[in-house]
Amino acid sequence: MLGKKKQQLAYLKIEWAELKWQIAEAKGSDADPEMKHHYVNDLEYSQFLIDQQIDELEHELAMFPLRFMLGGFVIFVIGMVIYMMS
């Protein structure tokens, strides 16, 4: 599970970099200015959505050890309560 999320994060970062190059190429092209503006805006919006997905995945990866510690703490507390009751 954790490896799959790291792989997805790496893929999203590559896709974000490709969009950055496409934006640079579109800005330097000799196309109609209005069409170029719309195309660049579409690419920037796609880049923004990928940026949000990257942030979500990084947050999930950062929270994994804390979730693991919480589970261990809950099991420890339940064990202590059972030990004190017996």
Q: pLDDT, tens digit, for every residue of 31-51?
A: 888 999 999 999 999 999 999
Q: Tokens standing for 37?
A: 């503006």
Tally of domains in the chain: 1
Q: Where in the sequence is the domain holding 56, given as residue range(s)? A: 2-85
Residue type, 32: D
Is residue 65 pLDDT above 90, yes or no? yes
Residues composing the chain = 86
Closest CA to 23 of 11, 39, 12: 39
3 state DSSP class of 32: coil
36 contact partners, CB below 8 Å, separation of at least 6: 26, 27, 29
pTM: 0.78
3 state DSSP class of 3: helix
Per-residue confidence (pLDDT) for residue 45, from 0 to 100: 97
